[in-house]
Amino acid sequence: MIEVKNIKKSYGDRVVLNNVNLQFQKNNITVLLGKSGEGKTTLFRIIAGIEAQDEGQVVIDNSKTTMVFQDNQLYPHLNVFNNLVLPQRVILKRNKKEATIVSESILKRLNIEYLKYSTVESLSGGEAQRVAIARALAMDKEIILFDEPTSALDRENTANLIGLLKNLKLDKTVLIITHDEEFSIGVADTIYRIECGEIKKA
């Protein structure tokens, strides 16, 4: 079980998160559902360790989480393969051979081997997202956070993503924030609603 306890966060006078408590299970898909401007993204950034909370506690190690961004943020100066390889080599100190083996097996798992030498610029929205997921998976983290993963996807790609996420939960813990109700119902094991900086279990 992974826990977020009594998180508070304000920007100046504006309280964004007010005493947020959240639990999510390992090898489960937990969805945080809410409209934009309700503090979802802030909460996420705190869990991912990009931002610091004012009060409260995240009972997971930041080093065990990584985040897939809404706009993917692939590295445009590298091709798909090197987007996967660079972080492994620099952060995990994997040698070239190890990084290659890991990258290739992940590309295969996500059915995007054919994109190996593609440029980031040439990817479609759905492809870019898969590459971003592949890059996150290559880092061997326990928990993967997804920020609005359906925002750039059509119906078909959304259905594919749901399949992919359900496959991921076999060995990862997945936390998603979204405003997409239909997608939430399709993918989640647990759904929380976030409103005005507070969490309600749906």
Partner 1 sequence: MDFQYIVEILPYILQGLKTTVQVFGFTLLLSIPLGILIGSVQSIKMPFINQGLSAYTWLFRGTPLLLQLYFGMYGLPAFGFTFNRITVAILIFTLNYGAYFTEIIRGSILSISKGQTEVSLSLGFTKSQTFFYVIIPQALKRSLQSITNEIITLVKDTSLIAAIALNDLLRNAKEVVSRDFRVEAFFVVGAIYLIFTLLIVDGAKKVEKKYAFYR
CA gap 58, 73 in Å, rounded: 25
> Quick check: 61 binds partner 1 (CB under 8 A)?
no
Which residue in 71, 181, 182, 195 binds partner 1 (CB under 8 A)?
71
Which residue in 34, 87, 149, 197 binds partner 1 (CB under 8 A)?
87
3-state secondary structure 84-152: HHHHHHHHCCCCHHHHHHHHHHHHHHCCCHHHCCCEHHHCCHHHHHHHHHHHHHCCCCCEEEEECCCCC
> Quick check: 69 binds partner 1 (CB under 8 A)?
yes
Least distance from C-beta 87 to partner 1, angstroms?
5
Nearest to partner 1 of 141, 169 (CB atom):
141
Residues 133-162 that bind partner 1 (CB under 8 A): 135-136, 139
**CA proximity to 149, closest of 33, 16, 25:** 33
Least distance from C-beta 121 to partner 1, angstroms?
4
CA gap 74, 84 in Å, rounded: 10
Residue ranges that bind partner 1, judged by CB under 8 A: 45, 48-50, 63, 65-67, 69, 71, 73, 75-77, 79, 86-87, 90-92, 119-122, 135-136, 139
